[in-house]
Amino acid sequence: MGKVALIERLTNGLGCQGDDCAVIGTTVVNTQTLVEGVDFDMMYTPLKHLGYKALAIAISNIAAMNGSPRQALVSIAVSNRYSVEALDEFYAGLRICSDRYGVQIVGGETSTSRAGMVVTVTAIGEVKKERLTWRHGAKHNDLICCSGDLGSAYAGLLVLEREKVTYQANPNFQPDLDGYDYVLERFLKPEPRMDIIKKLADSNVVPTAMTDISRGLADSLLHICRASRCGCEVYEERLPIDYQTSRVCSEMSKNMLPVSCALNGGEDYELLFTVVQSDYDKIKTMDGIHIIGYITEEGMPAVMVTPQNTTITLRAQAFQGLDE
């Protein structure tokens, strides 16, 4: 059925209002759950990084509603193989992230797990009514923009998984991670793009639609198109891809294209948003923002145009978790 369809089925008739976050007046609330073996692998995930990441991705969803994070609740369930010192490391990372983004940890729960660790973070933020941004506001001819670069987190995961397989075959093997710092940090310690939210506010730009790119660009584009009842056209040559991502793809397989990582990778936690064309002059000069296409009218498909001027229909093939 897939995650989106399952959520729609389970919440049908409940009157839920929200997309990246639930919206209650001017309060935005998001909950993220990370499960060991599905969302993270303790073989290569430092606990301090995990604490940071758990809060960061919840904050990213606050950003996707054009909001500002204020508080968070953190709940963990752990098995007896985790020491107190290990949990200290997890909370150290959590505190670093909360201090960096001005988020107060106001509560949570601690419980026992029979196997592994489960982390749940609920982030609470606020947004002015006139700046609240949903996925469903994109209109025909709006410009499509994204922040940062795409596919690098997935490239980092590929490197870690490659080193893990080699280590499992030979426990005396020492992982070689030199030269992969950027893509590894993008996967292990993502940053919510609150800086982009500030730039938009400072320039008095209110996106017409927005979401964060947690499951690949194609998936996020389709979320906006589905909610806004529109199509889209993006250009392959305009997709921002870091050179380290391209290098990793070429190392993994001659058939692995960097654009595939950008479209169908995951966990970049960049922002994807649309703006009216009259905001073009403001957007084009903003560092870290890329204009990658435009919104087409209702009934049109979501497509990518290649440098050869052929069109490829976008389909959501997003990375689902470490178990797939």
* Bridge partners of residue 118, in order along the sequence: 35, 77
Q: How far, in Å, CA of 246 to CA of 225, rounded?
A: 28
pLDDT of residue 176: 83
Contact 240, 298 (CB under 8 A): no
Nearest to 104 by CA among 51, 50, 66, 55: 55
Distant-in-sequence, close-in-space partners of 320: CB < 8 Å, separation ≥ 6: 3, 215, 266
Residue 154 CA to residue 160 CA, distance in Å, equals 10
Task: Give the contacts of 169 (CB within 8 A, at least 6 positions apart).
Answer: none
Q: What are the φ and ψ backbone dihedral angles of 293, each rounded to 5 degrees?
A: 170, -160
233 SS3 class:
strand
Q: Which residues of the chain have pLDDT under 70?
A: 1-4, 7, 13-18, 318-324
* pLDDT given for residue 322 in this prediction: 43
Query: What pLDDT shows up at residue 258?
Result: 96
pLDDT in tens, 209-250: 999 999 999 999 999 999 999 999 999 999 999 999 999 999
pLDDT at position 4:
65
Position 96 scores a pLDDT of 98
Contact 242, 152 (CB under 8 A): yes
Q: HSE (CB half, 13 Å, CA atoms) of 23?
A: 20
How are beta strands 143-147 and 270-275 bridged, if at all?
A: antiparallel
Tell me what pLDDT residue 324 has. Answer: 33
Q: Return the closest-CA partner of residue 163 out of 147, 145, 187, 143.
A: 187
- Structure-token match 């169908």, residue found: 264
Q: Which residues pair with 124 in a beta bridge?
A: 29, 71
In DSSP terms, which residues pair with 111 in a beta bridge? 77
Q: State how far the Cα of 205 lies from the Cα of 304, in Å rounded to an integer.
A: 26
Task: Give the pLDDT confidence of 149-172 residue by residue, as tens digits.
Answer: 999 999 999 999 999 999 999 988
How far is it, in rounded angstroms, from Cα 208 to Cα 161? 38
CA 89, CA 196: separation in Å to the nearest integer? 29
Q: What is the DSSP letter of 79?
A: -
Q: Which of 256, 228, 26, 261 is nearest to 125 (CA)?
A: 26
Containing 181, the helix (H) or strand (E) segment is: helix 181-188
CA dihedral sign of residues 300, 302, 305, 311 = negative
Phi, psi of 302 (to 5 degrees): -95, 120
Q: Which residues are bridge partners to 313 per DSSP?
A: 303
Task: Let me know if 168 is exposed, middle or buried by CB neighbors in 10 A (0-12, 13-18, 19+).
Answer: exposed
Domains and CATH numbers, the chain: 10-131 (3.30.1330.10), 143-313 (3.90.650.10)
In the chain the beta strands, taken as DSSP E runs, fall at 22-24, 27-35, 68-78, 104-112, 117-126, 143-147, 209-213, 231-235, 270-275, 289-296, 302-305, 311-313
Whole-number Å distance between alpha carbons of 308 and 105? 51
Query: Could you count the other beta carbons within 10 Å of the beta carbon of residue 59?
Result: 31
